[in-house]
Amino acid sequence: MTDAVQTHSTPSDANAAFKPRVFSGIQPTNHLQLGNYLGAVKRFVDMQGSGIETLYCIVDLHAITVWQDPADLTRATRELAAGYLASGLDPAKSILFNQARVPEHTQLAWVFNCVARMGWLNRMTQFKDKAGKNRENASVGLFAYPNLMAADILTYHATKVPVGEDQKQHLELARDIAIKFNNDFGVDFFPVPDPIIEGVATRVMSLRDGSKKMSKSDPSDMSRINLTDDADTIAKKFRKAKTDPEPLAETVEGLAGRPEARNLVNIYAALGDSTAEAVIAEFGGRSFSEFKPKLADLAVAKLSPLSSEMSRLMQDPTEIDRVLEAGAERARTIAAPILKRTYDIVGIVT
């Protein structure tokens, strides 16, 4: 530790010296679900072309912190890449790649394993949820996962990280790691990345239980809309979505304490690029039997072009691999010098 430390009072102060850069990632596990699309991918697309450099990663090394069948992992990696492209991410505008192809992520993660404290990681709620009762049997990778996530972001000096609400705690840890590294070595080397958690769909809930988030790993396929679902399946899932017996509220405030109703309104708003207020203005007071088919129609209209484009792209895995490889090459040109400078700061001879 040294005294020559700058205190980072606010994130914007801390990042003023850094070029704004966006980084985010998604795990290639199972199929992309509506929560990932509305909470993450759609917002990645919005940030693309805003004049800020954008990097979007397929975090394959995070996926293997819990068991993945190798063939499924390969398929899911390409499918996620197809999902990125079909949703409008453009390799000419964003750097699209898979994590394992850029070894600087894991190299920096090792340095961060030595910066982060056990106590910090012990507080991570996602580890507790994923490890469940049998903590002793969880992989070491699952425990150290947030350090790799911090490295994903900081190996690019990224300043903005669009994510859903469930990643907030991991982002706080990434910030703590950046601050501790800077303090320990008396440098202002890493920015303190800001989570960007915005919009109506930061926490899309399960269609079966309004108190649980929609998730790729929920055992019930009826709890989520997959981007690969066909029109009939989407309509059926919304028809069967859990609701309460009341009609839709006349005001947004009237949705308080009605998580399932609130969730369907938010999904409608996010799919239509509108707001909960606008949805209530249109459907307030109507029954769910009227609202649900409209929601299903909107979802099919927005999602089926994506799923057909994904299937088309999946027919040419060589082209997908080419896009990811080219993206990784570009990513490395940013990551390698940052890792090199990190090693210099730490005193590692390279």
Residues forming the active site: 130, 213, 216
254 is in an annotated binding site: no
Nearer to ligand TYM, 143 or 284 (CB): 143
How far are the Cα atoms of 62, 63, 97, 119, 133 from residue 136, in angstroms, in the given order?
A: 19, 19, 33, 16, 9
CB 19 within 8 A of CB 201: no
Number of other CB atoms surrounding residue 185 within 10 Å = 19
- Choice between 97 and 284, CB closer to ligand TYM: 97
- Residue 200, C-beta contacts closer than 8 angstroms, at least 6 positions apart: 266, 269, 270, 275, 276
Consult the annotation and say whether 152 binds a ligand: yes
R_g of the chain computed on alpha carbons: 21
CB of 347 vs ligand TYM, minimal distance in Å: 27
Minimum CB separation of residue 61 from ligand TYM in Å reads: 9
d(CA 301, CA 105): 38
Q: Smallest distance from the beta carbon of 5 to ligand TYM, in angstroms?
A: 26
> Which is closer to ligand TYM, CB of 95 or CB of 161?
161
The structure tokens 């027919």 sit at: 315
27 assigned to a ligand binding site: yes
Q: Which is nearer to ligand TYM, 266 or 342 (CB)?
A: 266
Q: Give me the least distance between CB of 214 and ligand TYM, in Å please.
A: 4
28: annotated binding-site residue?
Answer: yes
Q: How far apart are CA 36 and CA 164, in angstroms?
A: 8
Distance in Å, CB of 33 to ligand TYM, minimum: 7
- The CA distance from 86 to 41, in Å, is 10
The reply to whether 104 sits in an annotated binding site is no
> Is position 70 annotated in a ligand binding site?
no
Longest dimension (CA), the chain: 68
- Reduced to 3 states (helix: H, G, I; strand: E, B; else coil), residue 11 is helix
Using Cβ positions, the residue closest to ligand TYM within the complex turns out to be 39
Q: Read off the tokens for 96.
A: 């699209």
Binding site for ligand TYM (CB under 6 A): 23-27, 35-36, 39-40, 59, 62, 149, 152-153, 161, 163-164, 166-167, 170, 201-204, 213-214
Which residues of the chain form beta strands (DSSP E)? 21-26, 53-58, 94-98, 160-162, 194-196
Q: Which is nearer to ligand TYM, 63 or 284 (CB)?
A: 63
Q: Which residues are annotated as a binding site for L-tryptophan?
A: 152
Q: Which residues are annotated as a binding site for ATP?
A: 27-29, 35-36, 164-166, 204, 213-217
Q: Which residues are annotated as a binding site?
A: 27-29, 35-36, 152, 164-166, 204, 213-217
